Amino acid sequence: MTGENINNDVIEDRWEKMTIDFELAHPMLCEMAHVYTDDNLNISIQVNRNEGRTGSYFKLYNHKEYRKASKVARIDFRNPEYIYHVHHDGKKDWALNSHERAKLLEILNMKIFHGETVWKMLILNFNLEGGLNYNESMKNKMKKLIYPNHLPIDLPIPDYTKLSSSQPKSQKLSKNQLSGLT
């Protein structure tokens, strides 16, 4: 069965089973969804969401294994911008060069799970961690945003070639914002 021949009910059933299996097997890891790994490039892309966190972004690590990564790029879902983060877990901020930015766009457009792109899987996982199931995420569209605190499923990929080549600059954040960042 190819991704193009699978209807939404089948995808939803598999999505729900994958979510349940993951939560049962790894209850402590539900805070971070590992969406993509590239063994050749030795990178990984993950999302995690906390209720107090400001903004919506995904993380690109310079190693396929989170624990072995020395750098992380936190990239805004809506704009070609890095997100400054106060808790680095020993990882340096990563500002992508032009080749890395082009490769990121290529990866985000790749189909990986039943015909879904890496980009769509990032959105689905981000929304899942915010409490939306597959059907709710699929109904949350730009023109009819039912769940405004979640990402629209049809959010276009920003032009990440416009990301800066310099590291994210520190921002003055309020205590509320700081407590929401992890």
pTM: 0.75
> Measured in whole angstroms, how far is the alpha carbon of residue 20 from the centre of its chain?
19
Strands lying side by side in the sheet with 92-93? 33-38, 43-47, 57-61, 71-76, 92-93
Domain that holds residue 89: 3-180
pLDDT (tens, 9 = 90+) of the chain, 182 residues, equals 334 444 556 555 555 555 444 443 333 334 568 899 999 999 999 998 865 666 799 999 999 999 999 999 999 999 999 988 776 678 999 999 999 999 999 999 999 988 999 999 999 999 998 899 999 999 999 999 999 989 999 999 999 999 998 865 554 343 443 334 43
Q: Into how many domains does the chain fold?
A: 1
